[in-house]
Amino acid sequence: MASSSMTGVCADELQCIVCFELYEEPITLACGHSFCKVCIEQHWESREEATVCDCPNCREVFLIKPKCQKNVALAKLIEQMKLVSGVNEEKMKLVPGVNEEKMKLTSVVNVEERRCTNHGKPIQLYCKDDESFMCVMCIVGQHKNHEVVPVEIVHDELKGVLAAKCPELSKSKQHLESQLHQLKRQVEQTQDSGKGTVDRMEEKRLALYQYVDKSVDLMKSSVIKRQNEKIFLLQKQMDKVKEQLNSLQETNSTLKAALQDLETISFLQGYKDVIKRLESVSHFQSLKMAQPTVLDFSKEEKNLGSFIELHENFLKNMKPVELQMSELDQSSLRRLYGRTPSLDPNSAHRRIKISQDLRTATRTETHNHHPEHPDRFDFWSQVLSSDCFSSGRHYWEIDVRSSSRWRIGICLNSMGRKGGGNECRLGRNPESWCLRKYENEYYTRHNNQRTHVLSVPGNPERFGFLLDCEEGEFTCFRDSQVLHVFRGNFLVPVKPAIGVYDDDDSVRFCSF
C-alpha cells in the first residue's frame, strides 16, 4: 500500500487499479473512475477490438474513444500528498527506533468515516462552490473545475470564521445581560413603590371607614335626640290631659250626686259647690289641641344620601389608573394592546386589490372584479377593516414603505361610501379621523380641518395607531414618538380605515 498523507486522504484511494501505484498524470473517465494516462491507453491498446474502449473498473463501454484530459484537481491532491509524506518521512528518520509501521500509523489523520453516497468512498474533500462533501471520485462530473479542498483545510477556515464571531457574540451577551439586570432592577423598584402605596391606601381605607362610621353615628344621634325631645313634649301634654280628665270625672260624679239628692236643704247647701266645680271645668271644652304632627327626618336622610352620592360619584369617576403614554414604548403597546386588523373586501374600491391574508391593500391601474355591495366605496380608493372597536384599548401598525400618498385612520361605520363628496373621504367629515402623507409632508385631518405634523424626520416605513375608546383618544405614533392625538366619542363602533391613491402603491397591516 502506498504511503498516506497529512491531508487526511488515504493513499489507497489515490492508486490506479491498473498499476496499483499513485496516479501519474491522472485522467478521469465519464463513468467517474480515474487512471494513470499511460495505464488506460495501454489497456485500450491491449484489447483485441482496438475500436472499443471500456473502463477497467466498471467495464462501461465507450463507442468513441474518450479524450484523456488531465484531472488537474486530482493531480494537485497527489502532489500535496507526496510533499507532506516526504516531510513526515524526514521527521520520522530523526526519531530512533521508529519502524515503518509506526510511521504509517502516525501519518494517518483521524477522519470521521463517512462515505460518499455516489461512490461509497470515504468523504475526504469539500467543494467550496457547491458547499458539499465529496470523495476523490467526485472530482469529475458535477464538481469538475470546482474549487475542491481537503476537509481539514475547510474545517480550519470555517472554524476561524466561527471564532471571529465569538467577540461579537460575547458583546451581545453582555449587552443583553445588562438589559436584563436593568429590567430586574426596575421590577424590584416597581414592586417596592407599589407595596408602599398599597400599605398607605390600606391605612386610608381604615381612616375612611372610621369617618363613615362617625358620620352615620352623628346623623343617627341627631334623629334619636329629636325623637326623644318630641316624645317628652307629647308625654307632658298627655299628663296634663289626664289631670283634666280626672277633674272632669270627679265634677261629673258630684253633679250626678247632687241631682239625685231629694232632700231640699241638703241640695241647696251643696248647690254652690257643684256650680264652682262646673265653672272650673268649663274651660276644658274650649281647649284646642295642636294638630298631630310626625317628625320630619328627611333632612338627616338627605344629608346621608348626599354623603353616599358623593362617594358613588367618586367611585364612578375613579377609573383604574392605567399606564401613561409616557411610560409606554411601541414594544409595550404591541404586547399589551396589539391587534392585526383584517381588511373588509366588501368595502374595497374597485381599484383596491386585497391580498389573500386580508392584510395588504394595493391600488391597481385597472378595476378589479369586485361585486356590487352597499359597503363598497365607489369613488375614493379606500377600504375599511372588518374589525370594529367600541371599548378598550387597541393598537395596530401599518407598513407604508410601498406607498408615497396615503390616508390612514379610523371612521364610523356610518361614514358614506357612495359618491365623491367629503362625506365619503377620510378626514373630510365629522365621522373620520386620519393621518395623511402627501408630497412627503404629513398632516392630520378630521371634519375637513387639517393640521400639519412637523416632527416626522426621514421617510418612516411604518406608523402606529392607538385607539382608547373609554378615554376618547386616537393617537398616531412614529416609532415611540406621539405625532398627534385626536379626541372624540369612540364609544360608538369605529373601524380602522386606509386610503391608497397612487397606482401600484400598497400599504399593509403589520402582524404581531
What is the per-residue pLDDT for 3? Answer: 39
List CB contacts of 33: < 8 A, sequence separation 6 or more.
Answer: 17, 55, 56, 57, 58, 137
Site of grid cell 491491449 = 46
Residues 175, 168: contact at Cβ < 8 Å? Answer: no
DSSP string, 67-104: P--B-HHHHHHHHHHHHHHHHHHHHHHTSTT--HHHHH
Q: Which helix (H) or strand (E) holds 452?
A: strand 449-453
* Cα separations in angstroms, 130 against 73, 119, 143, 146: 16, 18, 8, 8
What is the per-residue pLDDT for 309? Answer: 75
What is the per-residue pLDDT for 308? Answer: 76
pLDDT (tens digit per residue) in 403-421: 999 999 999 999 999 999 9
**Does 502 score more than 70 pLDDT?**
yes
Residues 478, 460: contact at Cβ < 8 Å? Answer: yes
- pLDDT class for 146, splitting at 50, 70, 90? confident
Shortest CA distance to 474 belongs to which of 457, 452, 497?
A: 497
What is the per-residue pLDDT for 414? Answer: 93
**Does 223 score more than 90 pLDDT?**
no
Shortest CA distance to 426 belongs to which of 328, 347, 319?
A: 347
> Within 10 Å of residue 286's Cβ, how many Cβ atoms?
6
- pLDDT class for 48, splitting at 50, 70, 90? low
Residues 318, 334: contact at Cβ < 8 Å? Answer: no
- pLDDT class for 444, splitting at 50, 70, 90? very high
**Does 475 score more than 50 pLDDT?**
yes
Sheet arrangement for strand 441-446: 382-384, 494-500, 406-412, 432-438, 441-446, 449-453
Residues 49, 10: contact at Cβ < 8 Å? Answer: no
Burial 176-202, CB ≥16 within 10 A → b, else e: eeeeeeeeeeeeeeeeeeeeeeeeeee
Residues 103, 88: contact at Cβ < 8 Å? Answer: yes
Tell me the C-alpha distance between 423 and 435, whole Å: 17
| R_g of the chain, CA atoms, integer Å | 54
What is the per-residue pLDDT for 485? Answer: 95
Can you name the residues that pair with 466 across neighbouring β-strands? Answer: 395, 475
pLDDT (tens digit per residue) in 108-130: 333 345 788 887 888 888 888 88
DSSP string, 399-440: E-TT-SSEEEEEEETTS--SSSSGGGSTTSSTTEEEEEEETT
- pLDDT class for 95, splitting at 50, 70, 90? very low
DSSP-derived 3-state class of residue 325: helix
Burial of 402: CB neighbours in 10 Å, binned 0-12, 13-18, 19+: middle
**Does 93 score more than 80 pLDDT?**
no
Shortest CA distance to 157 belongs to which of 126, 111, 116, 122?
A: 126
**Does 248 score more than 50 pLDDT?**
yes
Most confident of 81-90, 238-247, 490-499: 490-499
Shortest CA distance to 80 belongs to which of 152, 129, 132?
A: 152
What is the per-residue pLDDT for 374? Answer: 95
> Within 10 Å of residue 148's Cβ, how many Cβ atoms?
22
